[in-house]
């Protein structure tokens, strides 16, 4: 028996040791794999030699401040498919403008998934390139509406003979859930301040309110006017005439009609576009060189030369939430308490003389919005802070922004929405239908509020209590904006009430200081810091999915969610994001509707 135990223990020890070696080899292998994948996703490893007669090809499909790079794409795609951030794209176009060997720009953008403000920012960069008298030539098999708006800056626009231009106007729809909820016995208890705070309407109304209809109409009218005027100016087409053609079904006509209306210069097949560039640059086709935007952007260095000081860009993108949500699990970025840590780090960094907070958010958790407002205010007490608004900076996003020294927005940025609401589901009718009853023993009058609220009708006293809480939150919101914008609370309330504004109108109302993109905000920050010779720290705008996955210290379930999401399509991630939004969309909120996406 004694020899048996010795043999058993020796075998067990060998098994444990062997398993340990296997695990060591496994993790070493994984580390090596991640290193290899990281290098695959990093185009900096391949320097680009820009020769004479080079054409810069722009084929971006999405525009985001921070992009995720999946190195596995490198196995099946070239560098052209690697995403670039908006700031990278703009800097690469500026580099191309100043590079004498880059003699033209090929705009191959048929569909753009981005908000109008981001499209405007890229469009301005293209117009700046065009001012150097280097030609921009656009080609598309078809053009979406925003893609054509972007392409309209080109000197020449070509279209496939069977192509189309989807100029149809803009519409905004709303799915109303009240009747469906009534049928299953669910009532949404709503508490809000703001005539225009429309995020709760789908749960309590069968159609959108007149106030909401008004602000929606102004929003889409403003965007459509920008598209019409932009195309009209660049293509020298009367805006009213173009609008009339759109109302006749311009998106569905024979492609010859686009030539007749001067929307395109000529109908061509894609394999003929090289001849166009060769003729434009007066060279042989064999002498033409092509460099992709992603390859050129990858040459940008992250090295920061301090000089007189650094202007640091900090990104705040997505829903404002206290929940521990991985952006890889949901397919979208979120703004959490970590933003406050970044702001405090910038405050303590002596090399950083000014900060630009790039805000791209529909709002979210009201409590966290207040904490981040405080962090911006503390930073402002030490160095200048300028907010650069992207596609939207509304409700909680504006709450945080109001603490900055200056606010810069694009004309088509969606902002404002100064208001808050509370949304709580009540299942009392449903549980009664299925025979469930909730019994509570309590010590005080409101001790059972969180327990019974979902399952029993609220009393008038309980409703009044919650409404006062929401009204107090709105009053604080008004006070924060009034303090930051040097307005009275009454003045803020007159442009508040949950109403959204486009950036151009927001400037006239005193909610925005200046119109422009990130570059304008950076110059404004440098000016406030009295910097003449400065560097810009753009931060991390390309995130390697696999590096983020394995450096995570999150629980195993989040690790699994990250791993799973790495293999999801964009459509699948979007569906998950919407479902998660529905489950989180309760409590006191300062935000736009959870499924809202800026046009």
CATH number of the domain within which 573 lies = 3.90.226.10
Structure confidence at residue 489 (pLDDT): 97
- Considering the domain architecture, whether residues 333 and 384 belong to the same structural domain is answered as yes
> Does residue 39 belong to any structural domain of this protein?
no
- Cross-strand pairs, 408: 388, 514
Q: 406 and 264 share a domain? A: no
Query: Would you put residue 482 in left (φ > 0), alpha (ψ -120 to 50) or beta?
Result: alpha
Angle between helices 366-380 and 338-348 (to 10 degrees): 0
User: How much is the pLDDT for 22?
Assistant: 47
- Counting as low any pLDDT under 50, the low residues of the chain are 2, 4-31, 33-34, 37-45, 75-80, 326-331, 552-554
Select which of 118, 333, 388, 395 is catalytic. 395
Contact 525, 536 (CB under 8 A): no
- If asked whether residues 482 and 411 sit together in one domain, one would say yes
pTM (global) more than 0.95: no
Q: Which of 57, 197, 353, 377 is catalytic?
A: 197
Same-domain check for residues 482 and 583: yes
Q: Quote the domain boundaries for residue 117.
A: 48-168+249-297
CA–CA gap between residue 540 and residue 313 (Å, rounded):
9
Overall domain count for the chain:
2
Asked if the structure places residue 505 within a domain, the reply is yes
Those residues whose C-beta lies under 8 Å from the C-beta of residue 199, and which sit 6 or more positions away, are 421, 423, 589, 591, 592, 593, 594
My answer on whether 354 and 474 are in the same domain is yes
Let me know whether 508 and 533 are in one domain: yes
DSSP, res 62:
B
Considering the domain architecture, whether residues 490 and 573 belong to the same structural domain is answered as yes
Identify whether residues 399 and 510 lie together within a single domain.
yes
N residues, the chain = 599
Q: What is the per-residue pLDDT for 166?
A: 96
Residues 275 and 321 in one domain: no
3-state secondary structure (DSSP) of residue 37: helix
State which of 231, 265, 297 marks the end of a domain: 297
Query: What DSSP element (H or E) covers 471?
Result: helix 460-485
Q: Which of 567, 549, 553, 547 is nearest to 42 (CA)?
A: 547
207 included as an active-site residue? no
Q: Hey, is 514 helix, strand or coil?
A: strand
Pair (551, 472) in one structural domain: yes
Tens-digit pLDDT profile for residues 534-555: 999 998 887 766 665 555 444 5
The pLDDT value recorded for residue 43 is 43
Q: Hey, which residues does 387 pair with through a beta bridge?
A: 357, 407
197 is catalytic: yes
Is there a single domain that holds both residue 545 and residue 583? Answer: yes
Looking at residue 566, what is its pLDDT?
57
What pLDDT is recorded for position 180? 92
In the prediction, which pLDDT does 227 show? 97
């Amino acid at each position: 028996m004694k020899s048996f135990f010795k043999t058993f223990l020796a075998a067990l020890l060998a098994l444990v040791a062997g398993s340990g070696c296997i695990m060591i080899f496994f993790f070493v292998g994984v580390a090596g794999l991640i290193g290899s994948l990281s290098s695959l996703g990093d185009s900096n490893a391949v320097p680009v030699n820009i020769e004479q007669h080079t054409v810069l090809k722009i084929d971006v499909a999405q525009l985001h401040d921070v992009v995720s790079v999946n190195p596995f794409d490198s196995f099946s795609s070239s560098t052209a498919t690697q995403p670039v951030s908006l700031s990278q794209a703009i800097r690469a176009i500026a580099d191309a403008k100043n590079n004498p060997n880059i003699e033209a720009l090929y705009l191959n953008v048929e569909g753009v998934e981005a908000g109008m403000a981001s499209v405007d920012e890229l469009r301005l960069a293209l117009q700046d390139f065009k001012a150097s008298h280097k030609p921009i030539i656009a080609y598309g098999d078809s053009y979406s509406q925003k893609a054509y708006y972007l392409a309209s800056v080109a000197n020449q626009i070509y279209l496939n003979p069977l192509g189309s231009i989807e100029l149809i106007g803009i519409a905004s729809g709303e799915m109303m859930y009240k009747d469906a909820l009534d049928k299953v016995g669910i009532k949404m208890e709503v508490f809000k301040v703001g005539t225009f705070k429309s995020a709760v309407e789908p749960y309590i109304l069968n159609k959108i309110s007149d106030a909401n209809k008004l602000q929606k109409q102004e929003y889409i009218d403003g965007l459509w006017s920008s598209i019409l005027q932009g195309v009209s100016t660049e293509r020298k087409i009367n805006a009213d005439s173009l609008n009339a053609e759109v109302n006749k079904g311009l998106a569905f006509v024979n492609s010859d009609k686009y030539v007749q209306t001067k929307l395109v210069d000529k109908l061509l097949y894609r394999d003929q576009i090289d001849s166009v560039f060769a003729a434009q640059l007066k060279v042989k086709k064999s002498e033409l060189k092509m460099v992709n935007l992603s390859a050129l952007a990858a040459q940008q260095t992250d090295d920061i030369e301090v000089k007189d000081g650094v202007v640091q860009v900090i990104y705040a993108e997505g829903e404002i939430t206290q929940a521990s949500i991985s952006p890889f699990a949901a397919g979208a970025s979120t703004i959490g308490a970590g933003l406050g840590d970044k702001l405090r780090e910038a405050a303590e960094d002596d090399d950083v003389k000014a900060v630009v907070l790039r805000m791209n958010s529909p709002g979210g958790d009201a409590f966290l919005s207040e904490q981040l407002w405080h962090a911006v205010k503390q930073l402002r007490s030490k160095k200048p802070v300028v907010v650069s608004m992207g596609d939207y900076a509304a409700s909680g996003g504006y709450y945080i922004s109001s603490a900055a020294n200056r606010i810069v927005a694009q004309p088509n940025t969606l902002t404002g929405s100064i208001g808050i609401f509370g949304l709580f589901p009540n299942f009392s009718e449903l549980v009664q239908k299925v025979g469930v009853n909730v019994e509570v023993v309590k010590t005080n009058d409101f001790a059972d509020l969180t327990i019974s609220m979902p399952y029993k009708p609220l009393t008038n006293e309980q409703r009044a209590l919650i409404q006062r809480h929401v009204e107090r939150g709105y009053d604080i919101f008004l006070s924060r904006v009034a303090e930051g914008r040097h307005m009275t609370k009454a003045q803020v309330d007159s442009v508040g009430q949950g109403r959204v504004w486009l950036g151009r109108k927001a400037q006239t109302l005193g909610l925005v200081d200046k119109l422009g993109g990130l570059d304008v905000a950076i110059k404004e920050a440098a000016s406030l810091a009295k910097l003449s010779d400065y560097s810009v720290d753009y931060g991390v705008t390309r995130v390697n999915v696999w590096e983020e996955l394995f450096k995570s210290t999150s629980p195993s379930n989040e690790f699994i969610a990250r791993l799973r999401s790495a293999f999801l399509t964009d459509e699948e991630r979007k569906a998950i994001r919407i479902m998660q939004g529905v489950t989180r969309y309760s409590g006191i909120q300062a935000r736009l509707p959870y499924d809202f996406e800026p046009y």
